[in-house]
Chains A and B, each alone.
Chain A
Amino acid sequence: MWYKVIQIADWFGEMSERYKLVRDFNKAAKDSFINGQAATLLEAKITWGESSYRHAFSKFMGGGFRIKALSGRPMAKYELIEVGKVVVDNEALVRKLVSLGWDTLEVHDNHGVSGCKWALKEHAHIGGFLK
């Protein structure tokens, strides 16, 4: 009985941590856009994710971390890749994403039809230590 109660409490704790991360990302993106540091406004969302990128800790129906770039124009592929690579190169962030149940990083703009996807488990450097 108590084990189940602890499990439920853990589940809620993890969910709040997931939403906190998304909220922090969006807040930082908004701040940098309002201050004029960034030309594009980024927005993070939780999506379904790619089923082939799933891992042992993937959240059901919530494995995708989507970054939407509101640029007002179709963004070039290299720009989308640059945004994704910054996230993927940040090992601490990738590990946190993986441990909180995300498996896919998606970057796309709001005008074009192209987008990029990364499998987070391949960039988490699992089995090794942080640089």
Chain B
Amino acid sequence: MKYILLQIKADTIVVSSIANEITYSNNFWFWLAIIELVVILVLVFKLSHKKNNLAFSELNKDNLKKSQETDIDMGNVMKSINYSSELYKELSRKCHPDRFINSPNQKLAEEIFQEIARDKRNHEKLTALKERAIKELYITF
């Protein structure tokens, strides 16, 4: 009986020492995980607040990314398909440089006519040129 009691006491001491070890080890891994979490949070914060302005120029990284995503104005493409030929004919007839011979606007008419010929299938640019012709060449449409 005495032997059994001694054995039980010894076992209890062993169990309690193991439990202490587990608590210590738990503490160690817990604090290590906390430190890792802090490091990760710092890195994420740094990444999100990364300096966008390049050091060597006034360019901005966001602007550079946006410039790669050129959005095409499909509405203008459709208008160009449907209306540009008529608008081009009208503009080239009314703004022809031959109508401005020996007038102070001759050079301006030549310049506008060249632009009209270059952008003859771009409705948006032709519309802008029409407005310019109305303002600068005093043409009525």
Partners in one complex: yes
Chain A residues in the interface with B (C-beta under 8 A): 21, 24-25, 27-29, 31-32, 37-39, 42, 82-83, 85-87, 89-90, 92-93, 95-96, 131
Asked if B79 contacts A32 (CB within 8 A), the reply is yes
6 sampled A-B residue pairs with Cβ under 8 A: A38-B82, A83-B81, A89-B122, A90-B77, A93-B72, A93-B77
Residues of B within 8 A of A83 (CB): 81
Bound-state CA distance A38–B77 (Å) is 12
Q: How many A-B residue pairs have CB under 8 A?
A: 54
Asked if B78 contacts A38 (CB within 8 A), the reply is yes
Bound-state CA distance A4–B95 (Å) is 58
Does more than half of chain B's interface fall in helix, strand or loop, or is it mixed?
helix
Residues of A within 8 A of B77 (CB): 25, 28, 86-87, 90, 93
Residues of B within 8 A of A39 (CB): 82
Bound-state CA distance A87–B76 (Å) is 11
Question: Which chain B residue has the least Cβ–Cβ distance from A17?
Answer: B69
B52 interface residue (CB < 8 Å to A): no
Q: Given A24-B74, A90-B77, A92-B70, verify A32-B82 contact (CB < 8 Å).
A: yes
Asked if B72 contacts A21 (CB within 8 A), the reply is yes
Asked if A86 contacts B80 (CB within 8 A), the reply is yes
Bound-state CA distance A42–B74 (Å) is 12
Residues of A within 8 A of B104 (CB): none
B118 interface residue (CB < 8 Å to A): yes
- Type the 1/0 row for B68-91, where 1 means its CB is closer than 8 Å to any CB of A: 001010110111111111000000
Bound-state CA distance A9–B85 (Å) is 42
Q: Given A21-B72, A24-B74, A96-B72, verify A37-B79 contact (CB < 8 Å).
A: yes
Bound-state CA distance A85–B111 (Å) is 24
Asked if A96 contacts B80 (CB within 8 A), the reply is no
Asked if A38 contacts B81 (CB within 8 A), the reply is yes
Residues of B within 8 A of A85 (CB): 121
In this complex, the member of B75, B81, B118 whose beta carbon has the largest number of chain A beta carbons within 10 angstroms is: B81
Asked if A86 contacts B84 (CB within 8 A), the reply is yes
- B81: which of A27, A42, A95, A96 is its contact (CB, 8 Å)? A42
Question: Which chain B residue has the least Cβ–Cβ distance from A90?
Answer: B77
Bound-state CA distance A25–B80 (Å) is 13
**Cβ distance A10 to chain B, nearest Cβ, rounded Å:** 13
In this complex, the member of B72, B78, B85 whose beta carbon has the largest number of chain A beta carbons within 10 angstroms is: B78
